[in-house]
């Protein structure tokens, strides 16, 4: 067996490759630990295998992103079991502390809390999520500020974060304001990329016409993968 890493579905993923004499085709499996396992005939070079993995990104995303829990308690860890962060399920640990904050430690989410009430857990989660999501947005918005706003003579929009349950984002093109839902913290970061682009595109085309989706597709040809994921139809 051979072990490699391949950048696919938003991150470097460990891949185990097993060559079998009886195999006539390449088979790809997403394991429970979210690593990839490939069985392949002898004689298939590594570059071909890597390309095969990348060509099957949609399949990998489908396997990685099981339907998310439906309640806030399940998503944030307030039920005491696990939390969902950027599309991954993390075990949680509670630690009594003098201030409330969250830390990733040893592949789990550790809550440092003054008390373990549902309200404190959810508030702490979303304060942490807001900071992280804001950081992701600031890293990504420069591309759209340049390619959608500056190049078309548009003002740079203000972006706010809200906990929205009926939509992932909104754009008030008249006031030049974009809102992004905090719920995106539960989904792979590519979903944030899609929603951010979607709302910026509305600054150019304030409707959902073919022209609008042509703009989106120009910058993100595979946008439907992430659109469908948010709709639960992937």
Range of the domain at 155: 72-231
Q: How far apart are CA 150 and CA 147, in angstroms?
A: 6
Domain boundary among the residues 24, 46, 64 is at 64
Residue 67: predicted pLDDT: 63
Q: Hey, is 204 helix, strand or coil?
A: helix
DSSP codes of every residue in 80-139: SSEEEETTEEEEEEEEE-SS-EEEEETTEEEEEES---HHHHHHHHHHHHHHHHHHHHHH
Residue 101 CA neighbour count, 13 Å, CB half? 8
End residue of a domain, out of 40, 64, 88: 64
Residues 118 and 26 in one domain: no
* pLDDT by residue, tens only, the chain of 234 residues: 899 999 988 788 899 999 988 777 898 988 867 789 999 988 899 999 999 999 988 888 877 766 666 688 888 888 888 898 988 888 999 999 999 999 999 889 999 999 999 999 999 999 999 999 999 999 999 999 999 999 999 999 999 999 988 899 999 999 999 999 999 999 889 899 999 999 999 999 999 999 999 999 999 998 988 888 888 754
- Number of domains, the chain: 2
Regarding whether 117 and 24 lie in a shared domain, the answer is no
Buried b (16+ CB within 10 A) or exposed e, 50-84: bebbeebeeebbbbbbeeebeebeebbbbbeebbb
Closest among 128, 105, 112 to 182, alpha carbons compared: 128
What is the CATH classification number for the domain harbouring 174? 3.30.2010.10
CA atoms within 13 A on the CB side of 35: 10
State the Cα angle at 142 between 189 and 139, rounded to 5°. Answer: 40
User: Residue 170 is encoded by which pair of tokens?
Assistant: 């909104």
Residues 149 and 43 in one domain: no
pTM exceeding 0.85:
no
- Residue 51 sits in the same domain as residue 126: no
Instruction: Give the residue from 64, 82, 106 where a domain finishes.
Output: 64
Q: Specify whether 57 is located in the same domain as 135.
A: no
Same-domain status, 54 and 134: no
């Amino acid at each position: 067996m051979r072990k490699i890493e391949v950048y696919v579905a938003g991150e470097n993923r460990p891949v185990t490759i097993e060559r079998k004499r009886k195999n006539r085709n390449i088979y790809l499996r997403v394991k429970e630990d979210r690593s990839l396992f490939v069985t392949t005939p002898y004689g298939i070079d590594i570059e071909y295998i890597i390309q095969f993995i990348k060509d099957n990104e949609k399949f990998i995303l489908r396997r990685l992103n099981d339907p998310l829990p439906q309640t806030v308690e399940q998503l944030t860890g307030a039920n005491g079991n696990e939390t969902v962060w950027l599309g991954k399920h993390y075990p949680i640990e509670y630690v009594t502390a003098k201030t409330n904050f969250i830390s990733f430690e040893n592949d789990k989410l550790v809550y440092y809390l003054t008390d373990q009430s549902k309200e404190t857990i959810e508030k702490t989660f979303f304060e942490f999520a807001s900071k992280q999501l804001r950081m992701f947005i600031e890293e990504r918005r420069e591309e759209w500020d340049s390619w959608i706003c500056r190049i078309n003579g548009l003002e740079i929009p203000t972006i706010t974060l809200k906990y929205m349950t009926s939509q992932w984002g909104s754009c008030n093109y008249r006031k030049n304001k974009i809102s992004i839902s905090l719920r995106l913290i539960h989904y792979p970061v590519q979903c944030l990329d899609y929603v951010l682009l979607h709302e910026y595109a509305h600054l150019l085309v304030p409707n959902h016409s073919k022209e609008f989706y042509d703009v989106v597709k120009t910058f993100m040809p595979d946008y439907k993968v992430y659109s469908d994921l948010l709709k639960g139809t992937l």
